[in-house]
Chains A and B, each alone.
Chain A
């Protein structure tokens, strides 16, 4: 079973920041938080990952709480092309690294 909990759906206005929450209250010390997204009928796309520090790349920012029990993915200026299902996953590399996907959050960016 997935070790994360996400809201099933969210809306965001185009040009505004999209903040997608994820709860992972049972995360252990060596588990990373990964975010992927999946646009309809395409393969999942890697966005970002982190262990305990906040991370930023060209796509998004990842904010992990100090106790690591939750995180937020931030898309700073959402566009219509960001409409997708976003998956938050915790993963231990040395256990084979397989990803266990939950239901994800369906983000709809509206004009």
Chain B
């Protein structure tokens, strides 16, 4: 399978714990995006990377959230001191980042976080 993969697929944690999610993009895709989706809503942009550089962060990404893409390949999203409001589906997408005027993003299956 050469698509975007995310691990774990499901995570249940207690309020106050830290969690980390991993995203493996499509091979050789330069851009990697994180989105969050709460129940009944469309996905909301969190942040994106061009290779290892984090180029934009949404206001949704509070100080408790941190994302990294250390070698320009896989990425991790960490949430510290989780709150019940963090319960959501966390989606990762990647794109080639090199295709002229447009650039299609391909999404992974998501990680569903439940904070008790």
Q: Which residues of A contact B (CB under 8 A)?
A: 2, 30, 32, 34, 36, 41-46, 49, 51, 85, 87, 91, 93-94, 96-104
Contact = CB atoms under 8 A, between A and B. Distances in A.
Contacts of A85: 42
A89 to B, nearest CB: 9
Nearest to A103: B42
Main secondary structure of the interface of B (DSSP, over half): strand
Contacts, number: 63
Given A32-B102, A43-B91, A87 B109 contact: no
A46 B42 contact: no
A49 to B, nearest CB: 7
Which of A32, A43, A96 has the largest count of B CB atoms less than 10 A from its CB? A43
B28 interface: no
Please classify how large the interface on chain B is, using the bins under 10, 10 to 19, 20 to 34, 35 or more.
20 to 34
Contacts of A97: 31, 33, 48, 95, 103, 105
A51 B100 CA distance: 13
- The 5 closest A-B CB pairs, nearest first, are A101-B42, A43-B107, A98-B45, A44-B107, A43-B110
Contact of A44 (B43, B56, B95, B101): B43
Nearest to B106: A46
B48 A96 contact: yes
Nearest to B40: A103
Given A43-B109, A98-B56, A93 B103 contact: yes
Contacts of A43: 4, 91, 93, 107-110
A75 B56 CA distance: 35
